[in-house]
Chains A and B, each alone.
Chain A
């Protein structure tokens, strides 16, 4: 029991980075994904093509590869490489935000498409500007459709944070792995699993509440 508590203490040292990475990714990639979704639905073929290519690239390559690229790889770009070098944690944040924005973009795009054409027309004949239509009519209706898949992605994100162990960010799994190696005991992995379970459970509850709020 003592050992268990000791492990809990040690692993919570990594929570700062796990939770931090999660929070920063959610806070930045949701709005970025939304902006991308609007660009992706834009009338301009060029803009649509660019955002489509971005989504294709970010969803089509492994997150771990992207992580290595942004942390280890950027340095080796000739001339500008030395300005692009980042510390471990910022590199992880940038990678995750860019990656998750692509997924959220696709989710929001689906949500935007689900809003009936009649809603746009009703807003227009009532005199709403495009911005007002988007804010008051389209986004609230889109959220209802988008929330369940966003929940899924958010849960995946909690687990994906463990990937940054690979570039040496000292998050929960990093401490678990060192404890297992040091003590030759598997319990640290179990504790880490409990940590992730608690976080995903909390998230599920939060999104359940949000889904109820945005239902109609």
Chain B
């Protein structure tokens, strides 16, 4: 089943064309790693999918419903309802620094979904256990390491029970050791068949955990395939060049 699709997606920042007629789709339960040169529009595409960036043209379809059709967005209420099916994890974590970890997790379920507090708290503790931070419920975000912050951010996104989870370079601001603990959580989710789109520079993750690797460059997708195809025998010379430069 198709979870998410972008068709003919275009996006420019002023004169600067970032995405040109990009077609991209994700199946249910699939983990897609999006890799490529810096500035190739990976993050922009991801941000367009969840309405953080306004695309100029194209369709965005989430589980059969149009977030954008022919460059026209759904009405605000629809848009919010459709976007609520997706969660997002940011490079800079973006935890709420003024409340503790537990409140970071329960705020959205409580205030957006009107979930009873006791129930939200119980679920939050489960999620924190899942990401290995059961003992940090009362900690303030600023007292956590980067890796812990990112795991809290993942738990916070999961609290809203999204059908798709988008990761925008989730480990790019972490040192290698902390990267490992975040990737471990993401691999766990991938193994549970969570649908995920991961923009990343972690080739190890793309190789081991992704079902499909998408390579972006020159305003669009240059090539995509299984990790074995992409890392073993890429066809596009630009992809070949990139792969050989990092391995």
Contact = CB atoms under 8 A, between A and B. Distances in A.
Interface string B96-134: 111100000001100111000000000000000000000
Contacts of A122: 90, 94-96
A124 interface: yes
A13 B105 CA distance: 53
B94 A124 contact: no
Interface string A40-61: 0000000000000000000000
Contact of A144 (B52, B93, B98): B98
B86 interface: yes
B208 to A, nearest CB: 27
A127 interface: yes
| Size bracket, chain A contacts | 10 to 19
Q: Which of A116, A124, A214 gathers most chain B CB within 10 Å?
A: A124
B111 A128 contact: yes
Interface residues of B, number: 28
A136 interface: yes
A129 B93 CA distance: 20
Contacts of B90: 118, 121-122
Contact of A118 (B80, B83, B92, B156): B92
A95 B130 CA distance: 58
Contacts of B80: 127
Interface in B116-159: 140, 142, 156-157
Nearest to A215: B98
Contact of A216 (B51, B83, B108, B140): B140
B88 interface: yes
B160 A119 contact: no
A137 B92 CA distance: 16
Contact of B142 (A118, A125, A136, A216): A216
Interface string A133-154: 0001100110010000000000
A129 B80 CA distance: 9
A80 interface: no
A136 B97 CA distance: 12
Interface of A: 116, 118-119, 121-122, 124-129, 132, 136-137, 140-141, 144, 214, 216
What are the 7 closest A-B residue pairs judged by CB atoms, nearest first?
A122-B94, A126-B108, A118-B94, A127-B112, A125-B88, A140-B98, A216-B98
16 contacts: A118-B94, A119-B96, A121-B90, A122-B95, A124-B51, A124-B52, A125-B83, A127-B83, A127-B84, A128-B111, A132-B111, A136-B96, A137-B96, A214-B98, A216-B97, A216-B140
Given A125-B86, A126-B108, A141-B98, 8 more contacts: A124-B51, A124-B52, A125-B87, A125-B88, A126-B112, A127-B160, A128-B111, A132-B112
